[in-house]
Amino acid sequence: MRAYDAAAGRKGLPMSPLEMDEFVKLLADGVADRLAEMPLLVNKDKLAQLFAVSVATIGRLKAAGKLPTVRVGRRVLFDPAACIAALSSNNEEGAS
C-alpha cells in the first residue's frame, strides 16, 4: 500500500510495517467508534437509508421474509447486521 505522509513529505513511498500497523489500528478504532454510535435496532426508514434503497424495497424484502425483524410493542425494527447477513445468505443460496 502506498501512502502520502504530509509531515514527512513522502509521496508514494511504501509504509513501513510499523506505520502500517499504526494505520490499521487507527482505522479499526475509527470503524469501531462509528459502529458504537449506531443504534442496535433501526426502523425501516433508517434501514433504507443505511442500505441506500427505498423504503418500499425494505417493505418488499420484509414481506418476502428476507429481512429478520424484531417487534418491540407495535414497532417493527431491524438489526442492520442481521439484515446484511440474511441478504448475503439469500444471495449465496440463489447463486448455487
Taking the C-alpha atoms of residue 64 and residue 66, their distance in angstroms, rounded to an integer, is 6
- The residues that bridge with 14 in the sheet, in sequence order, are 2
What does the pLDDT look like over 51-95, one tens digit per residue? 999 999 999 999 999 999 999 999 999 999 899 989 988 766 655
pTM of the model: 0.57
Using alpha carbons, list the distances in angstroms from residue 43 to 26, 53, 70: 31, 14, 10
